[in-house]
Amino acid sequence: MSLGVLNNIAAIYAQNNLNQTQNSLQNVLQQLSSGSRINSGADDAAGLALADGLHANEAALNQSSQNASSGVGLLQTADGALSQVTNLLNRAVTLATEASNGTLNSSQVSSANQEYQNILTEIGNIGSTTNFNGNSVFSSTAKTVFVSDGTSSGATTFNEVVGSLSAASVGTTAPGAGVTSAITNPVPGASVAAVQSTSTLTFSAGGTESGTLSLGVGTGSQHVITIAAATSQAALAAQINGDSTFAAEGISASLAGNVLTLKGPANGSGSLVIGTSNVVDSTSGAITPTVPSTASAAIASTGSITLGATTDTISGTLSIAVGAGAAHNIAIAAGTTGAGLAAQINGDSTYNTAGVTAAYNSTTGALTISGPAAGASNLSFTGTSLSQTTVLGPGAGADFTGSSASLTAANATSVLTTVTSAIQNIDFQRGNIGANINELNAASNVASSESVNLTSAEDSVRSTNYGQATSDMAKYQVLSQTGISALAQANSVQQEILKLMQ
């Protein structure tokens, strides 16, 4: 080997090896201080992708366990409320049994009935006020509980439907006005034809419908449909028959004239249960303002529009002229009430200038339109085209809401049977809720167990092996010291050339 001073090859080798040793020692120290074997993609790209994927699955499973626990909390809230309903119904059983005793006088039976009505009211209060996290617990709308491991194939959705709770829904009320219900139970062992529970609703001839309709079978959950404004009776029947949920439950509808018949499933599959609904039946007809034959001097000429009921509405065009003056038209929007039309007339600047005013009587439904007081000033309504809409609201044969049954000495035994059946219905629902609670608890436990296993798998990929890392640290520390010593020796080699020059 020749001697030279331009490049110290030995020193360069020593520097390169020392740099590699220092980098390796730095990585080992980072692993030891962080506890993680993978601190960047450069450490282990495949391992980093695997560990991050496992960590994402863990996060999804941990939250899924929380979701299931929240669902359990919702169902436990419902179960606790139903437990209180059972206590109330047990008290109702006591009252019905007491009222059955012929030794009570009418005042005592009346007192028992008052408490019974309070019980029904409280059941309704429990149904309307019980909530979980600000959301109503007793609702026919499904509460979705989502459980997932973070992958599309590992997702499960639980739809928990508690159902609505009211005195009607637990079977302690009589059918509402205008609704007839009948169910024939087949005799065990007998040969019978298909038997269906039915309910009928009679509409106004030529009327249109709107609102909501809630139907269910037996103790199952209620399904609610929304009826758009101005829906024809035939279209309502078609909407019911075209609903997939009703079809699955065996519910159908048929229309004969203006009578809608609702049918439940055949052969004892469960009676048709009508939940809290509000079907509004509307009919329209033309109305003509009434005016006096002559106008008296110095007395305001008046005209009147009388509605059939205070709940009726008006639409169309109103045209009023005072004396020989030109007529002024105003458009009346659909659904305008008598009070609303009076306010529209009184707020019109043209009518104000002409001295035309309007007053509405909320008791009789009469709208009185008056002209100016001075002189003969007949009001004329030429060109007026008004349509009146009559709304059959609750209590008019178009509402399905049940009315509370009274407790009397005569029907105490019947009420006792009804309330006992209601307790059985509640117990059935609590059994369903309990099964759902167990299902969600199982889902939560599975998610937690899977999360633990994935955490273990991630740990094996990501965590530092301290036995290996400390051994590597000792090795690199020794190599670092020997590298420094070797570099010092390599640097001293070229100093030997000076001896040749002496």
Structure tokens at 468: 């290996």
Rounded Cα distance between 356 and 373, Å, is 10
Query: What residues form DSSP beta bridges with 380?
Result: 321
* 55 plus 138 within the same structural domain: yes
Per residue, the 3-state secondary structure of 258-319, as one string, reads CEEEEEEEECCCCCEEECCCEEEEEEEEEECCECCCCCCCCCCCEEEEECCCCCCEEEEEEE
Mean pLDDT calculated for residue range 34-50 = 88
Would you say residue 389 lies in a domain? no
Name the residue range of residue 66's domain: 48-169+407-455
What does the pLDDT read at residue 475? 92
Residue 348 CB coordination number (10 Å): 17
* 235 plus 311 within the same structural domain: no
Per-residue pLDDT at 482 exceeds 90: yes
Q: Any idea what DSSP says for residue 223?
A: E
Would you say residue 97 lies in a domain? yes
Rounded Cα distance between 298 and 253, Å, is 62
Q: Are strands 385-392 and 313-322 parallel, antiparallel or unpaired?
A: antiparallel
* 335 plus 418 within the same structural domain: no
What does the pLDDT read at residue 287? 53
Would you say residue 501 lies in a domain? no
What does the pLDDT read at residue 314? 78
Contact (Cβ atoms closer than 8 angstroms) between residue 462 and residue 37: yes
CATH number of the domain to which 449 belongs = 1.20.1330.10
Q: What band does 16 get if pLDDT is binned at 50, 70 and 90? A: very high
Question: How is the chain split among helix, strand and coil, in percent rounded to 5?
Answer: 45, 25, 30
Would you say residue 55 lies in a domain? yes
* Residues found in the chain: 502
Give the DSSP per-residue string, 404-420.
EPP--TTTHHHHHHHHH
Looking at the chain, the whole-number percentage of residues with pLDDT higher than 70 is 69
Residues with Cβ within 8 Å of 118's Cβ and at least 6 positions away in sequence, in order, are none
Higher-confidence residue of 477 and 233: namely 477
Rounded Cα distance between 81 and 137, Å, is 10
Higher-confidence residue of 365 and 429: namely 429
* 105 plus 180 within the same structural domain: no
Q: Any idea what DSSP says for residue 141?
A: S
Count of structural domains, the chain = 3
- In this structure, what is the dihedral angle of CA atoms 340, 341, 343, 344, given to the nearest 10 degrees? 120
Query: What residues form DSSP beta bridges with 145?
Result: 158
* Last residue within a domain, chosen from 455, 476, 492: 455
Tally helices (H) and strands (E) across the chain: 10, 21
Would you say residue 491 lies in a domain? no
CA distances from 462 to 50, 100, 156, 338 (A): 9, 76, 29, 76
Contact (Cβ atoms closer than 8 angstroms) between residue 44 and residue 38: yes
Top mean-pLDDT range of 71-75, 220-224, 401-405: 71-75
pLDDT in tens, 273-284: 555 455 655 555
- CA 328 to chain CA mean position, Å: 49
* 68 plus 162 within the same structural domain: yes
What does the pLDDT read at residue 421? 83
Q: Are strands 357-361 and 252-256 parallel, antiparallel or unpaired?
A: unpaired
Question: What is the value of pTM for the model shown?
Answer: 0.47
* 65 plus 142 within the same structural domain: yes
What does the pLDDT read at residue 200? 64
Looking at the chain, the whole-number percentage of residues with pLDDT higher than 90 is 11
Q: What band does 479 get if pLDDT is binned at 50, 70 and 90? A: very high
Mean pLDDT calculated for residue range 430-458 = 90
Higher-confidence residue of 278 and 65: namely 65
Amino acid making up residue 366: A
What does the pLDDT read at residue 311? 63
Contact (Cβ atoms closer than 8 angstroms) between residue 60 and residue 50: no
Would you say residue 497 lies in a domain? no
Q: What band does 334 get if pLDDT is binned at 50, 70 and 90? A: confident
Structure tokens at 30: 């980072």
Per-residue pLDDT at 432 exceeds 90: no
Q: What band does 454 get if pLDDT is binned at 50, 70 and 90? A: very high
Contact (Cβ atoms closer than 8 angstroms) between residue 302 and residue 370: yes
Mean pLDDT calculated for residue range 87-100 = 88
What does the pLDDT read at residue 164? 61
Mean pLDDT calculated for residue range 435-446 = 89
Higher-confidence residue of 293 and 387: namely 387
What does the pLDDT read at residue 398? 29
Question: Directed axis angle between helix 45-99 and helix 106-129, to 10°?
Answer: 170
Would you say residue 6 lies in a domain? no
Per-residue pLDDT at 427 exceeds 80: yes
Query: What residues form DSSP beta bridges with 227?
Result: 211
Per-residue pLDDT at 313 exceeds 70: yes
* 267 plus 299 within the same structural domain: no
- CA 474 to chain CA mean position, Å: 64
Rounded Cα distance between 293 and 296, Å, is 10
* Last residue within a domain, chosen from 320, 351, 383: 383
Would you say residue 16 lies in a domain? no
Higher-confidence residue of 277 and 20: namely 20
Rounded Cα distance between 221 and 61, Å, is 30
Per-residue pLDDT at 255 exceeds 90: no
CA distances from 117 to 86, 167, 382 (A): 15, 10, 56
Structure tokens at 341: 């039309």
* 62 plus 156 within the same structural domain: yes
Backbone phi, psi, residue 379, to 5°: -95, 135
CATH number of the domain to which 373 belongs = 3.30.70
What does the pLDDT read at residue 478? 93
Task: Write down the residue that tokens 């759902």 correspond to.
Answer: 436
Backbone phi, psi, residue 190, to 5°: -90, 155
**H or E element that contains 348:** none
Mean pLDDT calculated for residue range 200-216 = 70
* Last residue within a domain, chosen from 333, 350, 383: 383
What does the pLDDT read at residue 228? 83
Rounded Cα distance between 319 and 330, Å, is 7
What does the pLDDT read at residue 429? 85
Backbone phi, psi, residue 118, to 5°: -65, -35
**H or E element that contains 264:** strand 259-266
What does the pLDDT read at residue 269? 42
Rounded Cα distance between 413 and 405, Å, is 13
Rounded Cα distance between 191 and 14, Å, is 103
* 83 plus 161 within the same structural domain: yes
Amino acid making up residue 334: A
Which of 37-46, 194-203, 332-341, 411-420 comes out lowest in average pLDDT? 194-203
Which of 127-136, 317-326, 460-469 comes out lowest in average pLDDT? 317-326
* 109 plus 142 within the same structural domain: yes
* 165 plus 180 within the same structural domain: no
Average pLDDT, the chain: 75
Per-residue pLDDT at 211 exceeds 90: no
* 165 plus 109 within the same structural domain: yes
Q: Where does 350-490 show beta strands of DSSP type E?
A: 357-361, 366-370, 379-380, 385-392, 403-404
CA distances from 124 to 56, 85, 168, 334, 372 (A): 45, 10, 9, 35, 54
